[in-house]
């Protein structure tokens, strides 16, 4: 039996299948709002939201807020990666360091970044800094833990090979440890970039006058649920894009060896 051509192409391209779910949700949403005659002030329909989106787009405020949020996420996320991954590698390799620092990390890790808001505001004042600090905190600990575990699970044979061929410490780091943990690292980065994006919205509800989180808070105060929904949708779309970008990191030859196993 042969599948009809269009079905075959659908199964081959999950990209389109993703769109099916999105458009059905939009249609359902529209039907729901129209058929139950829900007050647009409480639950705006897709048409109204798209109109507001256009409005925010054309006056430039949506772009301004998006860029502000992305800037904070980027800085916080990079800082966390720059400090967290090397620390994770060190903890994975040096047992003494792990024994000393691991309890502290496991103690700090479950404290929600949001609990740090009062201190963050006190220490960094208002503006970008406290938000960046919160994003850093939310990404740093998961990255340290994931890197430590990844380093710990490297096959010992590879270190023996390294010792056998008289590798220098730098060789062990760049030829064994980093390539060995790279695929796991990409997974960890994918998870943390979405955490960062989650936290930025919360962080922007305090201490700043810009960003998508601020847009939501400000619109709520003005009872503009359509703007709130525009901000939510933009957050979702950008989250999708961030995940996609980080995922691309793991698509190269450097990760292929692991996916085959």
Partner 1 sequence: MGHIILDNLRKEYVERRGDRRAFQDREVIGDKTIVLDGIDLEFNEGELVAILGPSGCGKSTMLRIMAGFDKPTSGKVFVNGAEIVKPSSDSVFVFQHDGLLPWMTVWQNMELGLNHISCKDEQTERVMEYLDMVELTGFENKYPHQLSGGMKRRAELARALVVNPDMLMMDEPFTGLDFLTHMKMREEVVNMHEFLGKTMIMITHFIDDALTMADRVVVLSDRPAKTKMVRVLDVQRPRNIEKDPLLHELRDEIYLMLGVSYVV
Residues that bind partner 1 (CB under 8 A): 157-158, 160-161, 163-167, 171, 175-176, 179-180, 182, 253-254, 256-258, 260-261
Q: Do residues 247 and 186 make contact, with C-beta atoms less than 8 angstroms apart?
A: yes
How far is C-alpha 94 from the chain's CA centre?
A: 29
5 vs 261, beta carbon nearer partner 1: 261
Q: Cα(137)–Cα(133) distance, rounded to whole angstroms?
A: 6
29 vs 167, beta carbon nearer partner 1: 167
Using the Cα atoms of residue 183, residue 188, residue 190 and residue 191 in order, give the sign of their dihedral. positive
9 vs 160, beta carbon nearer partner 1: 160
What residue has token string 């008289």? 166
Is 149 exposed, middle or buried, given 0-12, 13-18 or 19+ CB atoms closer than 10 A? middle
* Residue 249 CB, nearest approach to partner 1 (Å): 15
- Percentages helix, strand, coil for the chain (3-state, rounded to 5) are 80, 0, 20
* Residue 144 CB, nearest approach to partner 1 (Å): 23
Q: Cα(175)–Cα(158) distance, rounded to whole angstroms?
A: 10
* Residue 155 CB, nearest approach to partner 1 (Å): 9
* Residue 257 CB, nearest approach to partner 1 (Å): 4
* Residue 99 CB, nearest approach to partner 1 (Å): 17
Length of the chain: 261
13 vs 251, beta carbon nearer partner 1: 251
How far is C-alpha 158 from the chain's CA centre?
A: 32
* Residue 229 CB, nearest approach to partner 1 (Å): 45
22 vs 165, beta carbon nearer partner 1: 165
* Residue 157 CB, nearest approach to partner 1 (Å): 6
HSE, CB side, 13 Å, CA atoms: give it for residue 240.
Answer: 10
Assigned token pair, 259: 């996916």
35 vs 166, beta carbon nearer partner 1: 166
70 vs 249, beta carbon nearer partner 1: 249
What residue has token string 């996609």? 244
């Amino acid at each position: 039996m042969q599948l009809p051509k269009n079905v075959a192409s659908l199964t081959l391209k999950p990209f389109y299948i993703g769109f099916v779910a999105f458009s059905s949700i939009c249609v359902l949403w529209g039907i729901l709002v129209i058929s139950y005659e829900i007050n647009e002030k409480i639950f705006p329909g897709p048409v109204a939201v798209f109109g507001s989106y256009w409005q925010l787009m054309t006056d430039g405020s949506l772009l301004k807020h998006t860029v502000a949020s992305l800037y904070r996420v980027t800085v916080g996320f990079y800082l966390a990666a720059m400090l967290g991954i090397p620390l994770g590698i060190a903890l994975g390799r040096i047992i003494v360091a792990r024994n000393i620092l691991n309890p502290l990390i496991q103690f700090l890790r479950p404290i929600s970044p949001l609990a740090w808001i009062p201190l963050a505001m006190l220490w960094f004042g208002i503006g970008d800094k406290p938000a960046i600090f919160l994003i850093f905190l939310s990404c740093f600990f998961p990255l340290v833990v994931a890197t430590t575990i990844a380093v710990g699970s490297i096959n010992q044979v590879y270190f023996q090979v390294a010792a056998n061929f008289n590798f220098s410490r730098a060789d062990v780091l760049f030829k064994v440890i980093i390539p060995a943990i790279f695929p796991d690292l990409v997974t960890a980065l994918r998870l943390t970039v979405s955490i960062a994006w989650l936290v930025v919205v919360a962080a922007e509800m305090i201490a700043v006058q810009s960003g998508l989180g601020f847009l939501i808070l400000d619109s709520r105060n003005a009872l503009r649920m359509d703007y709130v929904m525009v901000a939510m949708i933009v957050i979702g779309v950008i989250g999708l894009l961030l995940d996609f970008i980080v995922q691309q990191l793991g698509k190269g030859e450097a990760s292929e060896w692991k996916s085959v196993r």
